[in-house]
Amino acid sequence: MLLFFLFTCLSFILFLKSLPLNSLPLWASEMTLLSLWSHREFSAFCISSLMNSFYRSFIPRTCSKMSIKKINLSSRVDNVEIGEKSVLDLPELVLECILEKLPPAELFNMAGVCSSLRNRCVSDHLWERHMRQKWGRVIGPAAYRQWKWYIATRRDIGNLKQGKQSGLARLLIAVWPLSWTNSKLDNSEKQRIPLPTDSIMSWYLALETGKFCFPAQVYNRENGHVGFMLSCYDAELSYDSQTDTFQARYPPHGRRAGAIESNVTWDRLRAQPVDAPPHDLHISDCLNDLQPGDHIEIQWRRNEEFPYGWWYGAVGHLESCDGNANYCRCHNSDTVMLEFRQYAPGSRWRHTAINRRNHREEGNEADGFYGGIRKLKTEREISMWKSLWPTEVLE
Amino acid sequence: MSSSPPPSSAAASPSCPKKMIALRSSDGETFEIEEAAALQSKTLENMIDEDCAGTPIPLPNVTGKILAKVVEFCSKHAEPGVDDESLRAWDAEFVNVEQATVFDYILAANFLEIPTLLNLTCNVVADMIRGKTPDEIRKFFNIKSIFSPEEEEEVRRENHWAFE
């Protein structure tokens, strides 16, 4: 209980400090979350398991596969003159079948038609499918947590303003002077932004309209800046439905100011492959498996002030090995040679060696620090990196 | 024999007399349908398996007018050697009817458990909804909207988050 109090206080301070909103675009004031939940390995391609563990279980139904039950015509309250058939007269499963065929904009419109249609059209299982189809690849657990936080904080602010003070709000008022919290809130409340509900439909709409920014990673950040080729960095993203692209906001690095990049296309995004903040060192679990030819990603940062980026590389042969498959014993050696073939052979970035027995983080101020390693297992991830290969060799 | 041969083999041997199933609509009209076509309907398939197909099968939920069209649909879809494109064109023409008739087809397809017809007609209704605002949807389907005050507030709130 005490831990919960401290945690919510800390996060609420961070949120209040990020106001007032008028001086910044609304989305730019979203706070970066401190992820205090326990971390789990999460693959961006397992979005369906995320959905199942957080939401009600969803049994996919398609018209052609389902066994259709015969249901008697049910009477509807908000209906037409007697004798005329209406879409509301249709059996439940048939109506479901029709709603499942609707694209998101139409499903949203149907929710505003009448009471009985509304109940069906806002239900999570219909919107789950749209979320998964459009957003599944770029939304991960971190984004989901940020959404939950977004709703919770907005609800508490709304309650504070209306005098419906939750336990949290009363606690805060006791700790900080009310005038200070009120002055911070007034600017936002002037706009009277309605609160989002805690539903998948709400989440989908918040993402679509760009009102909700979510954390994800961007390949080859800043329009393929040569200093970041074949790397993937964390950013806050907001969607622009007009152009079907994103605006990415990269956190500041040390003395380097935060950067903003516009028109980031879908193919340059992914959800975080490891559910951890970008400053956290990843503990490699694949070191014993690494052998020449494996594709990997490794964390790298300039120094402790900077967040890690994930950089693509491959496991190469040791210098003593001539690469002949019959005689290669590199996989038995304690030393693993990592190659970054996007760099020219003489370049200082071309190779680095790590010790598979005790590697955690190695490096220095000159060459930066090499951190945790992920072995790439899916063809999809590998071909993604290959598709981003620079046209010219880097130095 | 009570087990029905697969449709393809029945069509492959035209010299064998095709088994006909008799159906009776709610208003007493009788229709005959080839067994191969009847198997498109899971309901009829179950009845044929249970050897109930001796006397005309009564279908109290389907009128003669609609049953005639459903028989036509099933027969067309059981025909061998029809390419996908011309079948699709035929389907498009089949559902090019009034809204009320489309709903009748849906109810019949649901009752008789004909997945192809149900899928087709549901797509038609989904297409009717496409591109319409809530007001236009209400007018088109003749729905009177009765929202409670709380629901009205929710709709207003959601429209703030709506698609631009």
Chain B residues with CB-CB distance to A68 below 8 A: 42, 110, 113, 115, 118
Contacts of A95 in chain B (CB under 8 A): none
Q: Are A136 and A47 in contact (CB under 8 A)?
A: yes
Task: Supply the pLDDT for residue B72.
Answer: 93
Per-residue model confidence (pLDDT) at position A332? 82
Q: B11: buried, middle or exposed (CB in 10 Å: 19+, 13-18, 0-12)?
A: middle
A260-265's contacts with Cβ under 8 Å and 24+ in sequence apart are A261/A218, A261/A221, A261/A222, A261/A223, A261/A235, A264/A218, A264/A237
- Domain assignment of residue A73, yes or no: no
Q: Does A369 map to a domain?
A: yes
Asked if the structure places residue A383 within a domain, the reply is: yes
Q: Could you tell me which chain B residue has the CA closest to the CA of A66?
A: B115
Spatial separation of the C-alpha atoms in residues A32 and A27, rounded to whole Å: 12
Q: Encode A305-318: b = buried (16+ Cβ within 10 Å), e = exposed.
A: ebbbbbbbbbbbbe
Residues shown for chain A: 395
Whether residues A309 and A249 fall in one domain? no
Are A343 and A263 members of one domain?
Answer: no
A112 touches chain B (CB under 8 A): yes
User: Residue A258: what pLDDT?
Assistant: 84
Q: Which of A92, A94, A130 to mutate to test the interface with B (most CBs of B within 10 A)?
A: A94
Interface of B with A in 130-159 (CB under 8 A): 130-134, 137-138, 141-148, 151, 154-159
User: Is the same domain home to A118 and A150?
Assistant: no
- Domain-terminating residue out of A205, A238, A272: A272
A256 within domain boundaries: yes
Separation in Å, CA B62 to CA A333, B47, B68, B71:
77, 17, 10, 12
Does residue A268 sit in the same domain as residue A320?
no
Residue at A204 is within a domain: yes
Whether residue A76 is contained in a domain is answered as: no
Please check whether residue A28 lies inside any domain of the structure. no
A321 and A370 both lie in a single domain:
yes
**A residues 68-107 lying closer than 8 A (beta carbon) to B:** 68, 70-71, 73, 77-80, 84-91, 93-94, 97-98, 101-106
In terms of domains, do A302 and A322 share one? yes
A194, A122 Cβ separation under 8 angstroms: no
Tell me the DSSP string of A288-324: GG--TT-EEEEEEESSTTSPPEEEEEEEE--TT----
Q: CB–CB of A231/A311 below 8 Å? A: yes
**Mean pLDDT across chain B:** 84
Residues A89-108 as b or e (16 or more Cβ within 10 Å = b): bbbebbbbbbbbbbebebbb
Give the pLDDT score at A303: 85
Which residues make Cβ contacts (< 8 Å) with residue A319, sequence separation at least 6? A337
Decide if A282 is inside a domain.
Answer: no
Q: pLDDT at residue B10 above 50? A: no
- Identify which of B122, B142, B161 has the shortest CB distance to residue A205: B161
Q: Let me know whether A333 and A312 are in one domain.
A: yes
- The rounded distance, in Å, linking the Cα atoms of B95 and B103 is 10
Residue after which a domain boundary falls, among A272, A307, A333: A272
Tell me which chain A residues have a C-beta less than 8 angstroms from the C-beta of B123: 101
At residue A3, the pLDDT reads 58
One domain for residues A202 and A128: no
Return the minimum-mean-pLDDT range out of A34-38, A214-218, B63-67, B76-80: A34-38
Query: Across the interface, which of B122, B130, B161 has its CB nearest the CB of A94?
Result: B122
In terms of domains, do A147 and A206 share one?
yes
**Span B47-58, mean pLDDT?**
76
Residues A145 and A247 grouped into a single domain: yes
Whether B41 contacts B114, CB under 8 Å: yes
Q: Is A228 in contact with A248 (CB distance < 8 Å)?
A: no
Which residue type does A28 have? Answer: A
Domains: count for chain A: 3
Pairing of strands A214-219, A231-240: antiparallel
Q: How far apart are the first and last CA of chain A?
A: 54
Do A116 and A237 lie in one domain? The reply is no
Give pLDDT tens digits along chain A (395 positions). 555 555 555 555 555 454 443 443 333 333 333 333 334 333 444 444 444 444 444 333 444 344 444 433 433 444 444 445 677 888 898 999 999 999 999 999 998 888 888 888 989 999 999 999 999 999 999 999 999 999 888 877 767 766 655 555 555 555 544 444 444 444 444 344 566 678 899 899 999 999 899 999 999 988 878 888 899 999 999 999 999 999 999 988 777 778 899 999 999 999 999 888 888 999 988 888 888 889 999 999 988 888 999 999 999 888 888 777 777 888 888 888 999 988 888 888 888 988 888 888 888 888 889 999 999 999 999 999 999 888 888 77
Could you tell me the residue range of the domain that residue A119 belongs to?
90-136
Asked if residue B59 lies in contact with residue B23, where contact means CB atoms within 8 angstroms, the answer is: yes
Are A308 and A234 members of one domain?
Answer: no
